[in-house]
Amino acid sequence: MWVIRGESEFEVSISPVDSEWEGKIVEHNLSRVVPTVHLCHNWASRDAAVAGVRRRWQRLFPDEPDEDRPDFQEALIEPMPSSDASHNL
């Protein structure tokens, strides 16, 4: 999911990696050559990952009203079922 704040675009994702859930917040800004990684962390559960991404976002934008905060459920990238993966080979 992409979120725009000021001159920056933030790529927010929560995806399964091995047996954990990885949350990422990466800032892309035209004035910088290299993106800024604000968060790249793994959690044991999907709910913990969503909560962790939400906490980091609140630290990045402490004055942002609740109604303007993104719905981080939209950042979830669900794993493809194994039965579907075998059909795509």
φ, ψ for residue 19, nearest 5 deg? -105, 20
pLDDT for position 86: 47
pLDDT tens sequence across 68-86: 999 999 999 987 665 544 4
Share of the chain above pLDDT 90, in %: 82
Q: Distance between CA atoms of 69 and 82, rounded to whole angstroms?
A: 34
Give me the mean pLDDT over the 36-57 stretch.
97
Give me the mean pLDDT over the 10-29 stretch.
96
> Strands of 20-29's sheet, edge to edge?
2-5, 8-17, 20-29, 36-43
Prediction pTM value: 0.85
Please check whether residue 38 is in contact with residue 52, taking contact to mean a CB–CB distance below 8 angstroms: no
pLDDT for position 68: 93
- Token digits for 13? 């994702």
Q: Distance between CA atoms of 77 and 85, rounded to whole angstroms?
A: 15
